Amino acid sequence: MKPPPEQSSPDVHPAQEAFAHAPTSVSFKKLRKRITRQVREAISLYGMDTPNPGGDQQKWLVCLSGGKDSYGLLATLLDLKWHGALNADLLACNLDQGQPGFPAGILPAYLQSIGAQHLIVRQDTYSVVTKKIPEGKTFCSLCSRLRRGVLYRVAREQGCDAIVLGHHRDDALETFMLNLLHGGQLAAMPPRLLNDEGDLFVLRPMILCAEKDLAKFAELMKFPIIPCDLCGSQDGLQRAAMKSLLDQWESKRPGVRGTMFRALQNVRPGHLADQELFDFAAIERRMASPD
């Protein structure tokens, strides 16, 4: 028997509670407006909240890790829902993977405090990872795959159409650079992806948002952040190197991250070299007509 989601208070919208103690400064209001606008733009641009074939609105499993990005994701989606700008029901979900020292009470307490509909899932994937990964190696790749599998299962059990992740613009660019320099392919993080089974979408509504904005937003909102290195393993050094490289470029040419992301939105297949994507052999020269 699957546990029922905890229900929101009928009297106060969760977004009102989430922003109840937010700063009232003009700078914060501008930041909140910018993030909300970018998330709404991404949802519209990539058709994320398109109603189901029967006309029913979607149900989203909003995945929370306890980091700044996932807190910002939930708050912004609740904000959009509050103002009638999101055609999807939201179910916040945290997966407790059994990491040593994980403060299991923080996220449930926060979600209850704002009255958000939520579900806490506890499954010890940490033990599985530590048994399979040699000492000294990073756990992140296998941990991520196991986590995604559990979230897919939970989404199906709860009747959700999509799992929603907190990846932002900088995550996408770092992934692009990793694939370019180490993977031999031009690929980043898609805003909207259909899983291999074809029954669930993976959505990234914050794909247009800058990490620095989300970090500032989390600081001002005073989210109860849970550290990402509790398991003793952090994301690979290669990703950190890509972040450092992008930081160097940004310091020399402010705005370069935005330019790079626009390039991901403006692909010209005929100016690359993938013969499966573009039929170079079919190009024919147009002969000049005689005078």
| Rounded distance between C-alpha atoms, residue 123 and residue 95, angstroms | 7
Lowest-pLDDT range of 141-150, 165-174, 187-196: 141-150
pLDDT digits (tens, 9 = 90+) for 11-69: 679 999 999 999 999 999 999 999 999 999 999 999 999 998 888 899 999 999 999 99
Enter the pTM of the model: 0.88
pLDDT digits (tens, 9 = 90+) for 65-92: 999 999 999 999 999 999 999 999 999 9
14-235: CATH homologous superfamily? HUPs (3.40.50.620)
- Confidence category of residue 4, pLDDT binned at 50, 70, 90: very low
Burial 179-189 (b: 16+ CB within 10 A, else e): eeeeeeeeebb
Q: Which long-range contacts (CB under 8 A, 24 or more apart) does 199-202 make?
A: 199/156, 200/152, 200/155, 200/156, 200/160, 200/161, 200/162, 200/163, 201/48, 201/161, 201/162, 201/163, 202/162, 202/163, 202/165
- Give the start-to-end residue ranges of the domains of the chain: 14-235
CB 23 within 8 A of CB 176: no
CB 172 within 8 A of CB 242: no
How many residues are present in the chain? 291
